[in-house]
Amino acid sequence: MHESVLLRRQTTPALDLGSYLASGGLAGLKKAREIGAAETVRIVTESGLVGRGGAGFPTGRKWDSVRTASDPERYFVLNADESEPGTFKDRVMIDVDPFLVLEGVLIGSFAISATRAYIYVRGEYRREADLLQRCAKELEAAGYLEGLGPEGRALEIEIRHGGGAYICGEETALFRSIEGYRGEPMSKPPFPTVAGLFRKPTAINNVETVANVPDIVTRGASWLRSLGTERSPGIKLYSVSGNVERPGVYELPFGTPLRELLELAGAHDLQAILLGGAAGTFVFPQDFDMPLSYEAAQERHATLGSGALIAFDHETNLWRVAERLGSFFAHESCGQCVPCRVGTRRQHEMLEALADGHGRGSERDLLARLGQVMTDASICGLGQTASTAVRSLLDAEAKGLLAV
């Protein structure tokens, strides 16, 4: 049985600085100050920690390129704009251990010598934003922000609220939003580490990612590598919902079989799951023995994404599910580029026809064709992945895996 790390304070959340310190908090920050920024980044790099928001980019490499950038003005951004359908692990993470998240932010900001740290919280997460704000104030009042900024200055933390757009979870659109512009993604390159927020070198990390950092710094890189698989070291939070008895957030080491997670959540006799959120893929019982790791998912053309898992029983019409996903993407497309703006609308119209059972017969071919155009030609990850689930459903249907 895996012993909780990220969720270790789940039963008795440390919601004030006193109880956080009493339960061993801020040891990571203390150690980071002792060993210095370069060594901190080295440990994080060596641990093999990769981003938990979905893209899986190595955190240490990100920090190192910002740390060594020539521009003295640089930013740390915490992406708490959790908006992927079926994903709620960052909210729970903040709810049960806000100081652990903030400690990760402080260590990250110190490691890259950030001029300022921004925390961008999903608009609907009002309570979490308030909680982080209050905890940040406590840390500031107790002097823990002193000396973390450039040339020994105190770190400034600013909390920003999202306005309800999924696209603002995309890092470059998130920057535009903080800057006060319309939330539209920019092309990469240049990558955020080179020209991010306000076109300055920026490290942007997901909530779950930074929550790993204090323990990595305290316990060393080999600790994280002692968990999980060789190519996916560490632990992952999963948001489980749908036709299960015990929906919620589960913490497991990488490599745990999918079936084990389903059993923990109380899933019986499923038709399929949607793994990785709206931008993920449908996975059918024949693949339920797959280990939950980046490499195993990739082998099956699936993705762990943000760790969202929505379960569907045999009563569910998966084309109706796809239609709801299509509606989501059409609603959340920012409208900047043609393949996504028009493509997500056309995709939704065709999915509606299929789910309602009055298709013209050409929808399946057209959906596959359109999906390729959106994947290849869209500016950002939204359009590039808006057809992923649909195309996995087309494959499954061709193999006769659909119940309804």
Partner 1 sequence: MADTFQILIDGHEAIAHEGETILDVLRRQQVETPTLCTHEHLTPAKACRACVVELMGSRALVASCERKAEPGMDVRTDSERVQNARRGVFELLLSQNDVSTAPALAAQAESLGADPGRYRGQRYEKGFFDDNQLYVRDYDKCILCYRCVEACGPDVQNTFALTVAGRGFDAGIAAGFGGALPDSACVFCGNCVAVCPTGALMDRREHNLRAEGRWQEDRYDVVQTTCSYCGVGCQLELHVDRESNEIVKVTSPMDHSITHGFLCVKGRYGYSFVEAGTD
Of 53 and 343, nearer to partner 1 (C-beta) is: 343
Q: Are strands 156-161 and 116-121 parallel, antiparallel or unpaired?
A: parallel
Q: How far is CA 246 from CA 240, 243, 261, 280, 290, in A?
A: 8, 9, 11, 22, 21
Measured distance CA(240)–CA(148) in Å, rounded: 37
State the minimum distance, in angstroms, from the CB of residue 169 to partner 1: 14
Type of residue found at 276: G
Of 106 and 334, nearer to partner 1 (C-beta) is: 334
CB 113 within 8 A of CB 37: yes
Q: Which residue reads 């580029």 in tokens?
A: 337
State the minimum distance, in angstroms, from the CB of residue 49 to partner 1: 22
State the minimum distance, in angstroms, from the CB of residue 40 to partner 1: 31
State the minimum distance, in angstroms, from the CB of residue 342 to partner 1: 4
Q: Is 19 exposed, middle or buried (0-12, 13-18, 19+ CB in 10 A)?
A: middle
Measured distance CA(190)–CA(196) in Å, rounded: 8
Measured distance CA(69)–CA(52) in Å, rounded: 24
Measured distance CA(184)–CA(187) in Å, rounded: 10
Q: Please report, as ranges, the residues that interact with partner 1 according to CB under 8 A.
A: 165, 167, 182, 187, 330-339, 341-346, 349, 366, 369-370, 372-373, 375-379, 384
State the minimum distance, in angstroms, from the CB of residue 317 to partner 1: 22
Of 137 and 182, nearer to partner 1 (C-beta) is: 182
State the minimum distance, in angstroms, from the CB of residue 293 to partner 1: 21
State the minimum distance, in angstroms, from the CB of residue 369 to partner 1: 7
Residue 227, token pair as written in the block: 């968990």
Of 299 and 365, nearer to partner 1 (C-beta) is: 365
Of 193 and 229, nearer to partner 1 (C-beta) is: 193
State the minimum distance, in angstroms, from the CB of residue 315 to partner 1: 30
Return the DSSP state at 253: E
Of 7 and 279, nearer to partner 1 (C-beta) is: 279
* Neighbour-count burial for 247-281, b at 16+ CB within 10 Å, e otherwise: bebbbbbbbbebbbbbebbebeebbbbbbbbbbbb
Q: Which residue reads 């251990």 in tokens?
A: 97
Of 256 and 387, nearer to partner 1 (C-beta) is: 387
Measured distance CA(402)–CA(105) in Å, rounded: 44
Of 84 and 363, nearer to partner 1 (C-beta) is: 363
Of 214 and 305, nearer to partner 1 (C-beta) is: 305
Residue 58, token pair as written in the block: 């190595």
In what helix (H) or strand (E) does residue 139 lie, and over which residues does it extend? helix 126-141
State the minimum distance, in angstroms, from the CB of residue 366 to partner 1: 7
Q: How far is CA 8 from CA 28, 256, 261, in A?
A: 16, 19, 18
Measured distance CA(50)–CA(276) in Å, rounded: 16
